[in-house]
Structure 1
Amino acid sequence: MRAEDDPAFPVAAARSATTVTELDESLTHCAACPRLVAWRRQKAHDDLPAYRGQTYWARPVPGFGPADAPLMITGLAPAAHGGNRTGRMFTGDRSGDVLFAALYDLGLASRPDPVSADDGMTLRGVRMSSPVRCAPPQNRPTPAERDTCRPWLARELELLAPTLRAIVVLGGFGWQALMPPLTAAGWAVPRPRPAFGHGARIALRGPADERPLDVFGCYHVSQRNVFTGLLTPRMLREVLATAAGVAGLLP
């Protein structure tokens, strides 16, 4: 068995990473969840007309954005034909189109139209990440897969702790999956765990001498939520703007 195939690989590799760059590189080699490995590779061969001829990333998707970001945005996992195709968080699907457009409107993204990992997109003070790094079937990782992947985000949070001031969590499943990595990274998550809701906001006491971390809930930027009006661009911008203000990125 290769080291990357061992379920213990995320724990050891994440712990040994001393920078966000090292962490991003290590996690792209992870193969600790056989079902997810098979699924992400299978999706690369679906031969969908819209993506015919494109080479899929088909590996765990690293975070995107500066390593000293005061604001983080998380969902649950990459999309099979989004991040799993492009190799960049929230890039290549309709959800990402809505999210990046809102960030661009707020001056936090350099362009509104995410296309590929080499499109020149940059983020100002924002880091995108995820509790699960591989695209799962039906967008639902198993509890075991979620827990196996946890060390990557926990270590990322530790490395960002000196600058991190706010997190926007997209969707209830992402909210639930974020709480254990926050605890593992040293933040005091209350019991019972805070309930998710659009506009929800909790302040967590930080590790060591770090300032409290504000966590914001937002409905997910899924096509269903946007098409039905459950989440409008204005609602999304309002949550992002509030969080960015807390993070010191906006007045």
Structure 2
Amino acid sequence: MSNHSPLPFAEAPSGCRRCPRLVKLRKSLRKEHPDWWNAPVPAFGDPDAWLAIVGLAPGKEGANRTGRPFTGDASGELLFATLDKVGLSTGTFRSSIDDRVTLNGAIILNAVKCLPPENKPTGVEINNCRDYLAKALNALPNLKVILVLGKIAHDSIMRMSGQKLADHKFAHGARHQLPDGRVLIDSYHCSRYNVNTRRLTVEMFEEVFQSIVDGVSHP
């Protein structure tokens, strides 16, 4: 299985050892599922993106299995359907790296590049991975908007930008101006749990994306 990053210089090595707990989990899954990706998951999308979508971390049977963000589990179905609806993707998403979907003007990243146990990275693990996220974001010359899916991604980018979390609290649909001129916008994560509990509805998710696209088209 192979996957090519649009930002290869900003990726963690496949044998990254920064986080012992994540390394241990990765090694156990490589024995259990040798045909899975089981490595830091690279970025996916357009290297000339104006929009960066930042999630939490790979899902066990999603990106950790397939090697592409939000691909292989339920969380990607809503994300890629929404990207298609607002004109940021081409092709038909089939939850497989072989579906030939491409992103236009958008790129998908994660705050943590390896699968954490129970989808809960520690603060140290988030800190360990932040420089890879920073490298990726800083390598996007046309980047205008960062859409974070969940509080962990929000907090990581705020810390990266030197902002006080107390002054920039996470809230669905909230907009935050970053010191470099870029805008950060919050959304609840498109996880199955959030959708099933209706913390996040399809309409809420689509509204966030549509407002971003409309705002860039008509600043």
The TM-score normalised by the length of structure 1 is 0.78
Q: Residue 188 of structure 2 contacts residue 200 of structure 2 at CA under 8 Å; is this kept in 1?
A: yes
- The answer to whether structure 1 residue 176 and structure 2 residue 155 are counterparts is yes
2:171 aligns with one of 171, 191, 197? 197
Residue among 148, 153, 159 paired with 2:128: 148
Q: Is the 8 A contact 1:73 1:167 kept in 2?
A: yes
2:10 equivalent to 1:23: yes
- C-alpha distance in 2 between matches for 1:43 and 1:61: 15
Q: Does 1:229 align with 2:215?
A: no
Q: TM-score, normalised by structure 2?
A: 0.89
Larger strand share, 1 or 2:
2
1:71-220 aligned within 5 A: 71-160=51-140, 162-183=141-162, 189-190=163-164, 192-206=166-180, 212-220=181-189
CA distance in 2, matches of 1:197, 1:27: 33
Which structure 1 segments of 5+ residues have no match? Answer: 1-18, 48-53, 184-188, 207-211
Does residue 32 of structure 2 align to residue 32 of structure 1? no
- Alpha-carbon separation, structure 1, partners of 2:61 and 2:161: 28
- Flag the 1:114–1:174 CA change in 2: closer, same or farther, 3 A: farther
Structure of larger gyration radius = 1
Structure 2: gaps of 5 or more residues: 1-5
How far did residue 247 of structure 1 move? 3.9
In the alignment, the residues of structure 1 paired with residue 66 and residue 128 of structure 2 have an alpha-carbon distance, to the nearest angstrom, of: 23
Q: Residue 247 and residue 21 in structure 1: after superposition, are their counterparts in 2 closer, same or farther (change >3 A)?
A: farther
Match of 1:245 in 2: 214
**Size of the alignment, in residue pairs?**
214
CA RMSD of aligned residues (A): 2.2
Give the Cα–Cα distance (whole angstroms) in 1 for the partners of residues 131 and 144 of structure 2: 20
